Amino acid sequence: MTLIRFLPRAALVAVLCLASAASGAQELVVSAAASLTNAFQAIGQAFEQSKPGAKVVFNFAASGPLLAQLQQGAPVDVFASADQETMNRATTAKLLAAPTRVDFAANTLVLIVPSNSAQSPRQLGDLASDSWKRISTGSPATVPVGRYTMEAVEKAGLTMALQPKWIYGESVRQVLNYVARGEVDAGFVYRTDALIEPDKTRIALTVQTATPITYPIARVATSKNAPLADAFIAFVRSPAGQDILARFGFSRP
Amino acid sequence: MLTPLWLTLKVALLATLVAGAIGIALGWWMSRRAFAGKSLVDALLMLPMVLPPTVIGYYLIVLVGRNGVFGQYLDRWFGINLIFTWQGAVIAASVVSLPLVYKGARAAFEEVDGRFANAACTLGAGEFEVFVRIALPLAVRGIAAGLMLAFARAMGEFGATLMIAGNLPGKTQTLSIAVYEAVQAGNDRLALWLTLVISVVCIAVLVVSGRLLQAKH
């Protein structure tokens, strides 16, 4: 086939592809807390299977940056945060369809150490000793796990003692990575994150938090695809969705 | 707001010195020698310029991390940890700005008329003397341009620095990382101020170094 004869056909194919992309698949953009990465990917697959034609696109990061993106007008349909505070800020800023907000999962804060670490803290207070040089958690301004950690540390009266030791991560998954690589001596993550790196990290302590760790989800006010967004939220709360969350270690709110 | 600025200037200046010394030496060596696999060595030296900074960061973690190929010995023998330190940021910035010095220096040395060096050799000058008294003065303009670009690149370095040095306010939080964090936290006012500071400093650096270069000719 000569190029001249081929070109019009190629153009037609391209136009058809564009047209089908515009009319066919319904795309749903979900901004979700980093700790939900693995569980939500599995939920997304199951949701797409249950709803032919639907396509879920995930945007995972710490809850703080996700909120900042929403404030700057990111085209997001559903927002799931790892704490109530970020969700409250989003509600105050009128970014959410408020009645759709609902808690769908709960988690636990744990202290992990690299699996080859010779030492293991028996209680939070042990971290004040000189043998614990670098301790990681999320950046408290933007990462919920950092705020939960600071709360627990303050309650234990360790704020000053641990101050020089903090290495702040961009998200809970970066904290997990720091510990798994042995770059820090210990780190605060959620139990579900620790379960993802069972070979490289081990849980030393379960940490009590004054604020329960619950995950809220809601439709974003500017969503152009409200029915699909509501369907996704319903799916997360359905027995099928809750089973997947449980498989990844989340408990019910 | 000043702490990130001083830290950035310190890191960029030291990185330029490190990249400058290594880059000029390599540029000189590569311009004088012919050997098998020379183009491969050249490609390796240019790699940091084309690879994504995150790839450089990952390489550095694998090499100098606490459990890294060299990092474990640094830790065991000397008690040196580079991860999460400003020295780590200097290493990251040096690596990414090295190609700029090297390329500029090599091109400048290659443009120096070979007859001058040969004449000097017949008059009894050794390689070092040829380098210091003939090649360096004649190539100084190209080298200075390379150093200038290296400094600017080091100041703006973000990806590899974030992976190696982390984001420790007051310790390793350089201007570009401070801007990133301010935007992440939705703190637009701070982000704007930091952006203005880094822009003004960069313009000043470029203008001043441009003047210096002109004054020499």
Q: Which domain holds residue A224?
A: 25-106+214-247
**Chain A residue at shortest CA distance from B183:** A68
Judged by CB atoms closer than 8 Å, whether chains meet at A64 and B167 is answered as no
C-alpha to C-alpha distances, A66 to A57, A59, B58, B105, B216, nearest whole angstrom: 14, 8, 25, 45, 51
Judged by CB atoms closer than 8 Å, whether chains meet at B184 and A167 is answered as no
Reported as a pLDDT band with limits 50, 70 and 90, residue B65 is confident
Q: Identify whether residues A124 and A176 lie together within a single domain.
A: yes
> Which chain B residues have a beta carbon less than 8 Å from that of A134?
84
Q: What is the mean pLDDT of the segment spanning B158-184?
A: 89
Say which amino acid occupies B193. W
Identify which of B65, B84, B185 has the shortest CB distance to residue A68. B185
| Helix ranges restricted to H, A102-238 | 144-155, 159-162, 172-180, 191-194, 226-237
Judged by CB atoms closer than 8 Å, whether chains meet at A65 and B66 is answered as no
Domain CATH code at residue A36: 3.40.190.10
Tell me how far apart the alpha carbons of residues B179 and A9 are, in angstroms, rounded to a whole number: 49
Judged by CB atoms closer than 8 Å, whether chains meet at A139 and B168 is answered as no
Q: Identify whether residues A197 and A135 lie together within a single domain.
A: yes
User: Does pLDDT of A1 surpass 60?
Assistant: no
Reported as a pLDDT band with limits 50, 70 and 90, residue A19 is very low
Reported as a pLDDT band with limits 50, 70 and 90, residue B93 is very high
Buried b (16+ CB within 10 A) or exposed e, B108-137: bbeebeeeebeebeeeebeeeebbeebbbe
Shortest Cα distance from A34 to chain B (angstroms)? 14
Q: Which residues of B touch A (CB under 8 A)?
A: 61, 65-67, 83-84, 162, 166-169, 181, 183-186
Tell me how far apart the alpha carbons of residues B7 and B191 are, in angstroms, rounded to a whole number: 17
Does residue A9 lie within any of the structural domains? no
Cross-strand pairs, A169: A138
Q: Identify whether residues A96 and A112 lie together within a single domain.
A: no
Q: Identify whether residues A167 and A222 lie together within a single domain.
A: no
Shortest Cα distance from B168 to chain A (angstroms)? 7
Q: Identify whether residues A98 and A130 lie together within a single domain.
A: no
Tell me how far apart the alpha carbons of residues A25 and A130 are, in angstroms, rounded to a whole number: 57
In degrees and rounded to multiples of 5, residue B52 shows phi and psi of -60, 140
**Chain B residue at shortest CA distance from A68:** B186
Identify which of A141, A142, A183 has the shortest CB distance to residue B66. A183
**Chain A residue at shortest CA distance from B83:** A183
Q: Identify whether residues A99 and A115 lie together within a single domain.
A: no
Tell me how far apart the alpha carbons of residues A174 and B57 are, in angstroms, rounded to a whole number: 14
Cross-strand pairs, A207: A109
> Which chain A residues have a beta carbon less than 8 Å from that of B59?
none
C-alpha to C-alpha distances, B44 to A128, A153, B40, nearest whole angstrom: 45, 47, 6
Reported as a pLDDT band with limits 50, 70 and 90, residue A22 is very low
Q: How far is CA A201 from the centre of its chain?
A: 19
Query: What CATH fold (topology level) applies to the domain B2-216?
Result: MetI-like fold (1.10.3720)
**Chain A residue at shortest CA distance from B85:** A167
Instruction: Please give the pLDDT value at position A23.
Output: 45
Q: How far is CA B153 from the centre of its chain?
A: 7
Give the predicted TM-score (pTM) of the model: 0.81
Shortest Cα distance from A182 to chain B (angstroms)? 7
Q: Quick one: what percent of chain A has pLDDT higher than 90?
A: 85
Shortest Cα distance from B93 to chain A (angstroms)? 20
Sign of the CA dihedral B170, B173, B174, B179? negative
* Residue keyed to tokens 């969700």: A87
Q: How far is CA A63 from the centre of its chain?
A: 7
Q: What is the mean pLDDT of the segment spanning A224-229?
A: 94
Reported as a pLDDT band with limits 50, 70 and 90, residue A8 is low
User: Does pLDDT of B122 surpass 90?
Assistant: no
Interface test with A, best of B64, B177, B184, B189 (most A CBs within 10 A): B184
Across A50-54, B40-44, B202-206, least confident range? B202-206
Q: What is the mean pLDDT of the segment spanning A215-232?
A: 96
Domain count, chain A: 2
Does residue A19 lie within any of the structural domains? no
Q: Identify whether residues A112 and A190 lie together within a single domain.
A: yes
Contact indicator for A186, A135 with CB cutoff of 8 Å:
yes
> Which chain B residues have a beta carbon less than 8 Å from that of A62?
184
Q: Identify whether residues A56 and A132 lie together within a single domain.
A: no
Q: Report the relative pairing of strands A135-138 and A102-107 from DSSP bridges.
A: unpaired
**Chain B residue at shortest CA distance from A180:** B67
Identify which of A64, A68, A170 has the shortest CB distance to residue B167. A170
Reported as a pLDDT band with limits 50, 70 and 90, residue B210 is confident
Residues 6+ apart with CB under 8 A from A92: none
Interface test with B, best of A113, A115, A173, A181 (most B CBs within 10 A): A181
Residue count of chain B: 217
Strand order across the beta sheet in which A109-114 lies: A166-169, A135-138, A186-190, A109-114, A201-207
Judged by CB atoms closer than 8 Å, whether chains meet at B61 and A181 is answered as yes
Q: What is the mean pLDDT of the segment spanning B133-151?
A: 89
Identify which of B61, B66, B185 has the shortest CB distance to residue A64. B185
* Residue keyed to tokens 């929403």: A70
Does residue A13 lie within any of the structural domains? no
Residue count of chain A: 253
**Chain B residue at shortest CA distance from A133:** B81
> What single string gives the DSSP state of each residue in A233-250?
HHHHHSHHHHHHHHHTT-
> Each residue of A92-150: pLDDT tens digit?
999 999 999 999 999 999 999 999 999 999 999 999 999 999 999 999 989 999 999 99
ipTM score assigned to the predicted complex: 0.73
Q: Which residues of A touch B (CB under 8 A)?
A: 62, 64-65, 67-68, 71, 134, 139, 141-142, 166-170, 181-183
Q: Give the start-to-end residue ranges of the domains of chain B.
A: 2-216
Judged by CB atoms closer than 8 Å, whether chains meet at B185 and A142 is answered as yes
Does residue A242 lie within any of the structural domains? yes
> Which chain B residues have a beta carbon less than 8 Å from that of A68?
183-186
Contact indicator for B147, B169 with CB cutoff of 8 Å:
no
Contact indicator for B12, B88 with CB cutoff of 8 Å:
no
Would you state the structure tokens that stand for residue A58, as one six-digit string? 């995930």
Detail the DSSP E strand segments found in chain A: 26-33, 54-61, 78-80, 102-107, 109-114, 135-138, 166-169, 186-190, 201-207, 213-219
Residues 6+ apart with CB under 8 A from A203: A110, A111, A112, A191, A194
